[in-house]
Amino acid sequence: DAGITQSPRHKVTETGTPVTLRCHQTENHRYMYWYRQDPGHGLRLIHYSYGVKDTDKGEVSDGYSVSRSKTEDFLLTLESATSSQTSVYFCAISGTGFTGELFFGEGSRLTVL
Amino acid sequence: DQQVKQNSPSLSVQEGRISILNCDYTNSMFDYFLWYKKYPAEGPTFLISISSIKDKNEDGRFTVFLNKSAKHLSLHIVPSQPGDSAVYFCAASANGQNFVFGPGTRLSVLP
């Protein structure tokens, strides 16, 4: 199994509070991604990183920011959580970008009340 | 408008029989396709992929077929086993760009 750890695995928070999800990898892969999974939508890309301090937006990036100060860590921040951000968030890593398979973490379930 | 569609939200198959999961796409630029399997409370795991230069790729019990003219791919699982019960996602990318995932099909393999 790819060494990917997400934390926290579960979080309940209130509207308007900031939330940070952490993804940690031990594979030294260059590419890291944050997806959200919602019923009827599959997985949608929020942000991704192609190296330390190099990040780019995905298709559903509004309301989210990311940071990658080390190869192994990729943080997803919701500056002011809204109920529409209730979802399951998956981190993924890849050594080859979008030309090869992605390895996913176990997910972080976020509930915004 | 969804670029990758999996029109069957669920599918039930008897153990030992063939499971066929379908995926349709609208973007003719897609050139790389993958299937992922997902169990509850776990992350998706890679199953099999196919490039647009092929029309078939096989890996053990899993075969993916690609029909570019119809913009259609299918995943065949033969024989189906109870452990195959999961949600299956189809994904596609164009020219090394972001993967677009379908909404998933829940497969139930009945003993």
Q: Tell me: the pLDDT tens digits for A26-67?
A: 999 999 999 999 988 889 999 999 999 999 999 999 999 999
Where does the pLDDT of residue A2 fall: very low under 50, low under 70, confident under 90, or very high at 90 and above?
low
Distance, C-alpha A2 to centroid of its chain: 16
CB pairs under 8 A between A and B: 51
Beta strands in A1-113 (DSSP E): 4-7, 10-13, 19-25, 31-38, 42-51, 54-57, 64-70, 73-78, 87-94, 103-104, 108-112
Contact A74, A49 (CB under 8 A): yes
pLDDT reported for residue A1: 55
Question: Is B44 within 8 Å of A45 when comparing Cβ atoms?
Answer: no
Reduce the DSSP state of residue A102 to 3 states and report it.
Answer: coil
Question: Is B96 within 8 Å of A99 when comparing Cβ atoms?
Answer: yes
HEC profile for B28-54? CCCCEEEEEEECCCCCCEEEEEEECCC
Closest CA–CA distance from residue A42 to any residue of chain B (Å): 4
Q: A104 to chain B: nearest residue by CA?
A: B43
Instruction: Work out the average pLDDT over B50-54.
Output: 94
Q: B42 to chain A: nearest residue by CA?
A: A106
Rounded CA separation B22/B1 (Å): 18
Question: Is B99 within 8 Å of A102 when comparing Cβ atoms?
Answer: yes
Q: Is A41 on the interface with B (CB under 8 A)?
A: yes
The number of domains in chain A is 1
User: For residue A43, which residues of chain B lie inside 8 Å, CB to CB?
Assistant: 44, 89, 91, 101
Burial class (CB in 10 A: 0-12, 13-18, 19+), B50: buried
Domain of A35, CATH number, reads: 2.60.40.10
Domains of chain B, with CATH numbers?
4-110 (2.60.40.10)
Task: Match 């349709």 to its residue by tokens.
Answer: B24
Question: Is A99 within 8 Å of B103 when comparing Cβ atoms?
Answer: no
pLDDT reported for residue B68: 96
Task: Match 């053990």 to its residue by tokens.
Answer: B60
pLDDT reported for residue A61: 96
